[in-house]
Amino acid sequence: MAEDLINNNDIYFPSNLGTNDKLITLLNRTSRTLCDWFSKADKNGPLPFGESFNCIMPAEDGNSEEDLFSDIESLLNNSFNPVHPGSLAHLDPPPLIFSILGDLIAAGLNNNLLAYELSPSVTLLEESLCKWFAKKIGFNDFSGGIAASGGTLSNLNALIAARNNAGLGSDPNSVLLVSEDAHSSFVKCIRVMGLDTRNLVRIKTDNQGRMDINDLRNSLDKCSTENKKIFAIVATLGTTVRGAIDPIKEISEICKQRNIWLHIDGSIGGIFAITSIPIEGLNNINQANSITINPQKIIGITKTSSLLLVSNMSTLENTFNTGLPYISSKENIINRGEIGIQGSRPAEVIKLWLGLRFLGLKGIEDILNSSIKRKDFFEKNISKNKFDIYSGPLHIVSFLPNKLKPKDSDAWTQTKVNELINNNFMLSRPKFKGKYFLRVVMGNYNTKDSDIEELLRLLDA
């Protein structure tokens, strides 16, 4: 048993008496350990060299404070480090400082977003913040939203609501239309919804990676001939591999004409819609029935942080409300476990709220603008004679040597990824249109132009 803690009379939980001195000491030590790890990032690189983390499982007796801090250090030293300027592989930017604090507060509060009585202030906060976002993107007074743990779950919440709204229940003829470049999680959503890949209709993309409207029209006609019932069309606002934006205006008009639910997967680009940054193709998003916004992916709200915004809150209530027989209800306040898939849920909205309050709209714009600037700098300077570039209006670039045969893309990208990581640059290698690519995601605020120049030099070598 951990004697040092037992002796302090506050062994397991924060005490409701006294000053919790021991807890304060532990929190200080934890903060110090974490900050040391951040500041060592330059020495260690984005990924640990060699895996030496020993996953020691709990024993009969508990371990001492010293053992645990040694475990924490080992865990940190064997982790991916998002604050390293070479961490450019994924949509996982450095954590925003006030979000880290928000996570700590949420952990300490241990409130539960299942119900108002378990999270009175946070329930109101989540409701208000969703409404704030909904208004910012141009939805009306009936709008609102719900947080969920990640973009996949926000999309799933939307699709289930869309299908319910269409009155299709578990109809095996119901279909969802997405572009061929939409995120792979839609396959998962379809499976979870008791459907299979036949129920997921893929629409072709044009040479910019955007949904092809003619192909969409043809597919819609084909669906009606085949008696398939469409419960939603998904427009992607920022595709995963190249950051393309589907033609939202045209898609929304088609959805209006045919009375089809439009869901926008704005996991990557949705956050731009609350700013005045001019992004080509980012328009008319308030014509959607629902939109996923996933602030963890660019502005550094700590994971997970994702919102589903809906134009009409009653669609979520009608879909997910079952009654919570063991929970009290309060007039005019919705228990938030009744408007989404998740029941118990942490107060993760706190880190979003604190992060946004700290940044303000100017700070958000600064972070987003800086991502676009880094991407522009990279795209402008990468050798066009050597590489085929796949990019769009957002901060993602995928590329491949133009002379490479498709069958060699696997080996080339693997070699290059290894070579780059040995030089402290972490890029990803998505499989896209039958080939492997290298992908750089410029969402890391710590990456300087000099780092990008060094990356370009290594790519050119």
CA pair distance 345, 263, nearest whole angstrom:
24
242 Cα distance to chain centroid: 16
Selected from 183, 242, 375, 435, the binder of ligand PLP by CB under 6 A is 183
Q: Closer to ligand PLP at the Cβ: 143 or 152?
A: 152
Residues whose CB is less than 8 angstroms from the CB of residue 162 and which lie 6 or more positions away in sequence, other chains included: 231, 232, 261, 263, 289, 290
Selected from 81, 143, 165, 267, the binder of ligand PLP by CB under 6 A is 267
What is the residue whose two structure tokens read 């009744």?
Answer: 338
**Which of 299, 344, 333, 306 is CA-nearest to residue 445?**
299
265 lies in the binding site for ligand PLP (CB under 6 A): yes
Selected from 45, 85, 94, 150, the binder of ligand PLP by CB under 6 A is 150
Task: Indicate the SS3 state at residue 15.
Answer: coil
Shortest separation between residue 335's beta carbon and ligand PLP, angstroms: 24
Q: Closer to ligand PLP at the Cβ: 334 or 394?
A: 394
Shortest separation between residue 148's beta carbon and ligand PLP, angstroms: 9
Q: Closer to ligand PLP at the Cβ: 185 or 424?
A: 185
Shortest separation between residue 90's beta carbon and ligand PLP, angstroms: 7
Shortest separation between residue 286's beta carbon and ligand PLP, angstroms: 20
Shortest separation between residue 149's beta carbon and ligand PLP, angstroms: 8
CA dihedral 137, 141, 147, 151 (to 10 degrees): -40
**188 and 159 Cβ atoms separated by less than 8 Å:** no
> Per CB under 6 A, which region of 22-30, 236-244, 253-261, 374-382 contacts ligand PLP?
236-244
Joined together, the tokens standing for residue 252 give 């929304």
Q: Considering only residues 335-374, where is the footprint of ligand PLP by CB under 6 A?
A: none
Shortest separation between residue 183's beta carbon and ligand PLP, angstroms: 4
Shortest separation between residue 153's beta carbon and ligand PLP, angstroms: 6
Q: Closer to ligand PLP at the Cβ: 228 or 263?
A: 263
In the DSSP assignment, the letter for residue 321 is: -
By CB under 6 A, how many residues form the interface with ligand PLP? 14
268 lies in the binding site for ligand PLP (CB under 6 A): yes
Q: Considering only residues 295-324, where is the footprint of ligand PLP by CB under 6 A?
A: 306
In the DSSP assignment, the letter for residue 94 is: P
CA pair distance 361, 242, nearest whole angstrom:
26
Q: Which residues pair with 428 in a beta bridge?
A: 439
In the complex, residue closest to ligand PLP by CB: 151
**104 and 242 Cβ atoms separated by less than 8 Å:** no
**Which of 260, 293, 254 is CA-nearest to residue 157?**
293
CA pair distance 399, 379, nearest whole angstrom:
10
CA pair distance 342, 155, nearest whole angstrom:
13
Q: Closer to ligand PLP at the Cβ: 280 or 453?
A: 280
185 lies in the binding site for ligand PLP (CB under 6 A): yes
Residues near ligand PLP (CB under 6 A): 91, 150-152, 183, 185, 236, 238, 240, 265, 267-268, 294, 306
